[in-house]
Structure 1
Amino acid sequence: MFDAVRNNQKIVQVFLALITLPFAFFGIEAYVRNSGAGDDVARVGDTKITAHEFELAMRERQDQLRRSMGESFRPEMLNSLDARMSVLNSLIDRRLLLLDSSQNRMVVSNAALVNEINKIPALQDNGKFSLERYNRLLNAQGMSKPQFEAMYRQDLTIQQLMDAVSETAFVSQAQADALLDIQLGGRQYAEHHIAPGQFTAQVKLAADAAEKYYNDNKAQFETPEQVKAEFLVLSPDALAAQAAISEAEVKAAYEAGKDRYQQAEERRASHILITAKNDGEKAAARKKAEELLKEVRKTPAKFADLAKQHSQDPGSAGNGGDLGYFGRDAMVKPFEDAVFSLKNGEISDVVESDFGYHIIKLTGIKPAKLLPLESVRADIEKDLRQQAALQKFAESAESFSNMVYEQPDSLQAAAEGFKLQPQQSGWIARNATPQEAAALGLLGNEKVRAALFSDDAIKNKRNIEAVEVAPNTLLAARVIEHKAAALKPFESVKSEIEKLLTAREAGRLAEESGKAHLAALQKGEADKVSWSPLKTATRMQRGDLPAEAVRPLFQAETEKLPAYVGVNVRGGYSLYKLVKLVPPEKLDETRRKALERQYAGILAQEDLSAYINALRARYKIDINKSLLESRER
């Protein structure tokens, strides 16, 4: 029931990504006891979604976007009412599922909860649950065990409800066939592209065209307002190098974490592999493996010779079947189970795996052992420095912010007080594009840039307030140079404008010509177009077919061929001549089943969406839209 939560399977992962936000950790009862009137962003049934829950959800959505988008992320993406409503709707959907699971008396027992937590990979060391890692990760997130366990119990409870809905999705044979025909059926076509360059010589711009465009679009030709800044970054990474780690601390950490520094048992084995390409070859392959086993047992010393002669594993046959030393989880399970059940020098029975049939000889054992301190010292010191840096950051953040604010004419005191190296930026534009802002790194943060272009920062050259630009990262800065916005002279951009207007007009003429050709072809007039060689595309593998042309080509009328369509592509206009429908390729059963599962996943998501909509109709939902608007930044 809970495997989908633990393993992030696709259907539920997509849906939980929309509704799972850490806005509360204390179960349904806590919602009823939330803060009083005036602080509610919404009411769902008899429960509340408070402003505090909503702000936590907004912060989590921001972190999700930052992780997924990387340098392209901009905090202002969440400043619109639509974005805030999207987050609130996610909270409402989660609340509805919790309420409905409660009404249906769905519960997760303590034993089931413990079992599922024990299986979380991030909480394991060497495949086993680690209490030390559990405590360390909870501390890093600032959460207590009761908080985490209540939250995870909620997720598992929601999962039960969602599984009950999504697992009912069913794909009939007729639906599967129709889907495969849509996805894999192809179109054979020829193309004729009309490039704008063919019409450049025909373009005659009006004498005042460039100047008129310049006057109508002056904002395009402004050199933006710019600043250069000096800045400091306070973060655990900046503080880690300052941390002094004593020998006693290293030894204490080593003793406390000995379970982490165990080198697992490794075994060395050789094998003879007989493969079977399909079910029809399995019986013959097993028979051959059993005959070889008899020969091996008669003369164990010839194992390597027999492996060289008969093994069908190209990677090891030349070495007499030797696979070297390996630990658990390195081989497929049947093979691993056999290897770790043998005694040194012992030969296994025939073992079946996905690769075929194996005869295995165990040739060496390296027992588990505790790694010496010196071999793990670097890792221990790194962990201790990170822990010390996190603690020092927590202790220093407020005093760093205060010092920057209270001594506004220079960053020197803060740099010396916290042993930080001042850095200087290049030119920063007031209205930087998302790409330009991303290239600025931490200085691309919206709050930092807004503060740098404030009157106080530019005119008075005062420090801006320290800004949290990433988790556990504060940045303080000051303007050291400023350039006002300025309009470029018309003469300096005249040729640039003329090229732009010429290209636009040439593109229009190319489209006009293409549409005229298309109309003639569709009327049945003589086909005098020089077409490209025939090509084939499917919806899943479009080849050279531009993305803009996929829909028109596959939606073209096919009752009478050839059929013709035209599309604006690559700055010009392309004609497409559809000459033949290509039936879908015949799939092997594995690929067919995979596509059927994919379709079932789509249906399951639709069922889940319909279920949520039904819950929205069943429960009364009140949204305090004015509060959302007042909090919009």
Structure 2
Amino acid sequence: MFDFFRKYNKIVMIFLFLLIIPSFVLFGVERYQGSGNEEKVARVDGLDITKPEWDAQHRIETDRIRQQSPNVDATMLESDALRYATLERMVRDRVLAAAAAKTNMTVSEDRLARLFAQDQGLATFRTPDGKFDRETFMRVTGRTPEQYEASVRADVVTQQVLLGISGTALTPPALVAATVNAFYDRREIQVARFAPESFAPKVTVSDADIETYYKDHTSQFQAPEQASIEYLVLDLDAAKKNVVVNEADLKAYYEANHARFGTKEERRASHILITAPTSMPAADREKAKAKAEQLLAEVKKAPGSFADVARKNSQDPGSAEKGGDLDFVTRGAMVKPFEDAMFALKKGEISGIVETEFGYHIIEVTDIKPAVVPPFEQVRATIESDFRAQQATQEFAKAAEIFKDTVYQQPDSLKPAADKLKLTIHTANNVARTPAPGATGALASRNFLSALYEGDALERKQNTDTIEVGSSQLAAGRVTQYTPAHPVPLAEVKDKIRAQLVTERAAVLAKTEGEAKLAAWTAKADGATFGAPVTVSRIDAQSQPLPVIDAALRADAAKLPSLVGVDLGTQGYVVVRVTKVVPRTPPTPEQAQQESAQVGQSVTAAEAAAYYNLLKERFKAEILVPKPADTLPVAAAR
């Protein structure tokens, strides 16, 4: 067959050309690029959010969380709840951006400059001479300064959208009182509990009952589908092992970075400062300079008097009383003109007049600690580790291409990729579609596990695509054995069903008995048996179930004492005797002010959320994927 292609390759090429070109015309180039098949997960103001965009944003957020909290549970980061919360935030940002655009909101250059000046994080990217280190910023943040500026503008503008609502919220005293009292209202109660355990001996469960329950609730007794798998992980550590190191490279690295492996030169200096900030009038600056020149002449004439002259004349409050002593410093600790002059002097020498933004200085170097650079052999291990780490990123990029190509081109085995890249083939059993509690690495990645259960990976046990499972972490796997979901045999769950039926029926008996006692004690209080009185509230439940607290607080305070019944389901039944209202201890003025502020914050959040919901309707925002049961709440305003 291959001989045929070699012999008639021109004919084959023409045939393929005639076959492919019409399909481009009929269906569009985007079908071949894949963009036409991107799943839409949300829509705002007529614009779609696609699954790749969602995945990318969630990856950015999880990477940031991993950097801030390296020990975070990886399973949580890939949970449906957290992924859905990411999508909700994306929708929120787009809704607020659309509202800002419609109202033509902008951010002035002056305000933006003030924000940047106040941002302490940006200060770390400035060099000693005050310039912004663009390359370091891009390497650390993964964004260009222009992208960062655009994101700050967008954040400020979207905050302005909600500020008109959140900045005008009102919390009158009556609202504060009603809200606070809902938490602090107290009742004295007595409880008579009818526990299912007390009625369990009266319950009889037959084998027929168990079999009937099993047949009626088959879906409750399903063993989930599981797979045995093997998989590869390519990360920076694996790439680092493939870095080829030779002595020449290490010595060149040592020469280029030797200062990092030792101690920098340190200098101890004293100075006399005559302050003259650049904002000072020129005439006053000339007087300050003349004063400095006079003092310079004094110390040049009698160098041993430098400390005394500094104590009497220096206008630097931090060092004057110490004779001008600044202790030991390295390069980068002082402003550049001062530093250049100090490091140009020999021990015991006194400088001329040095002008800085603070004024005029006279500097004396009192001691020098030379830089100490350890020999190459002493730091070779450290150099090799640093060199491997530096080269690992480049090696990872090359290895990633080999990894992707090999697992794709040889889909029936992971061994070729493992052999090429010297990777270990890992195995795992009982792997489900979702991460197991406590899972780590690739097994904690929802995307990786989903790929194992899709298409050829499951049906033909071929390699999955290469999946990004973390920052600089790629994985590919294949299913070696698959067990579909199946009913658990009755024999294995018989005892569980029996216990469940006993609990349910005992709870029914407990409720029946409790309701009978409630009716009897309501008609005639004599003979009622309750526990000791306890005082409860919503913030101090005294170990009582929440339904008991709610029932006690809803009882008519004008008709106490009174009895109420509370059905706790499988936990039994409770008759509650509400005896009296217990007044709250009046709060201190500080506590009352704090409570008012907390209620105000809640009202502000509620109004902002209501306005955001209105904006969602206005801009026809909708999420097109199902909402998971364990969804996390996302505030409308940050």
TM-score, with structure 2 as normaliser: 0.63
Deviation at 1:197, TM superposition (A): 0.9
Deviation at 1:446, TM superposition (A): 3.7
Contact 2:138 2:144 survives alignment (8 Å): yes
SS in structure 2 at match of 1:171? coil
Structure 1 alignment gaps of length 5 or more: 1-34, 266-339, 347-363
In structure 1, what is the equivalent of residue 422 of structure 2? Answer: 419
Distance 1:115 1:86, change over 3 A: closer
**In the alignment, is residue 94 of structure 1 matched against residue 93 of structure 2?**
no
Deviation at 1:604, TM superposition (A): 1.5
Distance 1:147 1:381, change over 3 A: farther
In structure 1, what is the equivalent of residue 112 of structure 2? Answer: 113
Contact 2:195 2:507 survives alignment (8 Å): yes
**In the alignment, is residue 554 of structure 1 matched against residue 527 of structure 2?**
no
CA–CA distance in structure 1, aligned partners of residues 547 and 379 of structure 2? 56
Deviation at 1:198, TM superposition (A): 0.8
Aligned-residue identity in percent: 25
Partner deviation per Cα, 1:114-163 (whole Å, 9 max, x = no partner): 43234434445499999778744533554221111011112123334433
Partner deviation per Cα, 1:295-314 (whole Å, 9 max, x = no partner): xxxxxxxxxxxxxxxxxxxx
Contact 2:97 2:154 survives alignment (8 Å): no
Residue range with higher mean Cα deviation, 447-456 or 89-98: 447-456
Deviation at 1:61, TM superposition (A): 5.3
Question: Aligned pair count?
Answer: 487
1:463 aligned partner, one-letter code: N
CA–CA distance in structure 1, aligned partners of residues 143 and 535 of structure 2? 56
In structure 2, what is the equivalent of residue 507 of structure 1? Answer: 507
CA–CA distance in structure 2, aligned partners of residues 590 and 220 of structure 1? 54
In structure 1, what is the equivalent of residue 145 of structure 2? Answer: 145
**In the alignment, is residue 401 of structure 1 matched against residue 404 of structure 2?**
yes
State which of 32, 53, 69 in structure 2 corresponds to 1:56: 53
SS in structure 2 at match of 1:425? strand
CA–CA distance in structure 1, aligned partners of residues 102 and 483 of structure 2? 59
CA–CA distance in structure 2, aligned partners of residues 546 and 127 of structure 1? 57
Contact 1:108 1:156 survives alignment (8 Å): no
CA–CA distance in structure 2, aligned partners of residues 262 and 588 of structure 1? 60
> Residues 120-269 of structure 1 correspond to what in structure 2 (within 5 A)?
120-125=119-124, 135-240=135-240, 246=250, 248-249=252-253, 252=256
> Residues 75-86 of structure 1 correspond to what in structure 2 (within 5 A)?
86=88
Distance 1:164 1:427, change over 3 A: same
2:448 aligned partner, one-letter code: V
1:402 aligned partner, one-letter code: D
In structure 2, what is the equivalent of residue 541 of structure 1? Answer: 540
SS in structure 2 at match of 1:551? helix
CA–CA distance in structure 1, aligned partners of residues 463 and 183 of structure 2? 59
CA–CA distance in structure 1, aligned partners of residues 144 and 261 of structure 2? 21
CA–CA distance in structure 1, aligned partners of residues 590 and 512 of structure 2? 48
Partner deviation per Cα, 1:512-552 (whole Å, 9 max, x = no partner): 3223333444x343254433322223323334122343333
Distance 1:485 1:55, change over 3 A: closer
Contact 2:196 2:510 survives alignment (8 Å): yes
Residue range with higher mean Cα deviation, 225-234 or 534-543: 534-543
CA–CA distance in structure 1, aligned partners of residues 131 and 542 of structure 2? 52
Distance 1:182 1:91, change over 3 A: same
Distance 1:192 1:385, change over 3 A: farther
CA–CA distance in structure 1, aligned partners of residues 512 and 229 of structure 2? 51
In structure 2, what is the equivalent of residue 443 of structure 1? Answer: 443
Deviation at 1:202, TM superposition (A): 1.2
Distance 1:199 1:92, change over 3 A: same
Partner deviation per Cα, 1:564-593 (whole Å, 9 max, x = no partner): 331416722233322232222333333332
Distance 1:156 1:76, change over 3 A: closer
Distance 1:372 1:231, change over 3 A: farther
1:408 aligned partner, one-letter code: P
1:115 aligned partner, one-letter code: R
Distance 1:187 1:368, change over 3 A: farther
Partner deviation per Cα, 1:384-435 (whole Å, 9 max, x = no partner): 76664444434433331111111223222222322322222132245x6x6x
SS in structure 2 at match of 1:102? coil
SS in structure 1 at match of 2:429? coil
CA–CA distance in structure 2, aligned partners of residues 616 and 495 of structure 1? 51
Deviation at 1:210, TM superposition (A): 0.8
In structure 2, what is the equivalent of residue 596 of structure 1? Answer: 596
Deviation at 1:255, TM superposition (A): 6.6
Distance 1:196 1:410, change over 3 A: same
2:558 aligned partner, one-letter code: E
Contact 1:58 1:84 survives alignment (8 Å): no
> Residues 590-629 of structure 1 correspond to what in structure 2 (within 5 A)?
590-612=590-612, 621=619, 628=624
Contact 2:230 2:427 survives alignment (8 Å): yes
Contact 1:240 1:388 survives alignment (8 Å): yes
In structure 2, what is the equivalent of residue 517 of structure 1? Answer: 517
Deviation at 1:383, TM superposition (A): 7.8
Distance 1:155 1:514, change over 3 A: same
CA–CA distance in structure 1, aligned partners of residues 59 and 125 of structure 2? 33
2:512 aligned partner, one-letter code: E
CA–CA distance in structure 2, aligned partners of residues 173 and 372 of structure 1? 69
In structure 2, what is the equivalent of residue 273 of structure 1? Answer: none
Deviation at 1:227, TM superposition (A): 2.1
Contact 1:195 1:572 survives alignment (8 Å): yes
Structure 2 alignment gaps of length 5 or more: 1-34, 66-71, 269-315, 332-370, 629-638
1:71 aligned partner, one-letter code: T
1:179 aligned partner, one-letter code: T
> Residues 371-386 of structure 1 correspond to what in structure 2 (within 5 A)?
none
SS in structure 1 at match of 2:557? coil
CA–CA distance in structure 1, aligned partners of residues 557 and 382 of structure 2? 66
**In the alignment, is residue 573 of structure 1 matched against residue 577 of structure 2?**
no
CA–CA distance in structure 2, aligned partners of residues 176 and 440 of structure 1? 47
SS in structure 2 at match of 1:200? helix
Contact 2:507 2:570 survives alignment (8 Å): no
CA–CA distance in structure 2, aligned partners of residues 379 and 344 of structure 1? 43
Distance 1:613 1:411, change over 3 A: closer
CA–CA distance in structure 2, aligned partners of residues 55 and 189 of structure 1? 57
Contact 2:76 2:82 survives alignment (8 Å): no
Choose 1 or 2 for highest CA Rg.
2
SS in structure 2 at match of 1:205? coil
Q: Report the aligned-residue RMSD.
A: 4.8
Deviation at 1:561, TM superposition (A): 1.5
Distance 1:469 1:378, change over 3 A: same
SS in structure 1 at match of 2:585? coil
Distance 1:382 1:530, change over 3 A: farther
Residue range with higher mean Cα deviation, 139-148 or 385-394: 385-394
Distance 1:398 1:485, change over 3 A: same
SS in structure 2 at match of 1:427? strand
CA–CA distance in structure 1, aligned partners of residues 265 and 186 of structure 2? 57
Partner deviation per Cα, 1:311-370 (whole Å, 9 max, x = no partner): xxxxxxxxxxxxxxxxxxxxxxxxxxxxx9655989xxxxxxxxxxxxxxxxx9865546
Contact 1:42 1:621 survives alignment (8 Å): no
Deviation at 1:235, TM superposition (A): 2.4
1:545 aligned partner, one-letter code: Q
CA–CA distance in structure 2, aligned partners of residues 423 and 379 of structure 1? 30
SS in structure 1 at match of 2:559? coil
Partner deviation per Cα, 1:233-259 (whole Å, 9 max, x = no partner): 12235435655684654775687999x
SS in structure 2 at match of 1:559? helix
CA–CA distance in structure 2, aligned partners of residues 441 and 89 of structure 1? 29
